[in-house]
Amino acid sequence: MKIQHLSGKYLEDMGHRFRLIRTYLKFDQKVFAGELKTTQSQISKIEAGKAAPTLHHLLIIRELADQNENISGSLSWSWLLEGKGNIFEE
């Protein structure tokens, strides 16, 4: 199996998107960490571009977005994963 390494630029951009969605959901890092079943320090590392979120983190983020009455069903995977398009599908 080939392991693909993520670039520093990708991790920084992903961290920025991660932080945007966290703040849009109105969570601080500690609460967000609890929702994602991880630590606040791991959230900090992801947002700083020092670590990548897991697939589990991304799936929970989608669930949290779907539970939010303002954005339910509209968080774009292409934006979350690649920064393409708008944060919310139209």
Is residue 4's pLDDT more than 70?
no
- Residue at 62 is within a domain: yes
What's the pTM? Answer: 0.85
Helix, strand, coil shares of the chain, percent, nearest 5, are: 55, 0, 40
Q: Which domain holds residue 78?
A: 8-82
| Cα-based torsion angle of the residue sequence 54, 60, 62, 64 in order, rounded to the nearest 10 degrees | -140
Report the alpha-carbon distance of residue 61 to residue 41 in Å, rounded. Answer: 17
Structural contact between residues 74 and 86, judged by C-beta atoms closer than 8 angstroms: no
- Residue at 88 is within a domain: no
Is residue 8's pLDDT more than 60?
yes
- Residue at 59 is within a domain: yes
CATH code for position 70: 1.10.260.40
Q: What is the pLDDT of residues 31-47, one digit of tens each?
A: 999 999 999 999 999 99
Q: Give the total number of structural domains in the chain.
A: 1
- Residue at 74 is within a domain: yes
- Residue at 77 is within a domain: yes
Cβ contacts of 54 within 8 Å, gap of 6 or more: none
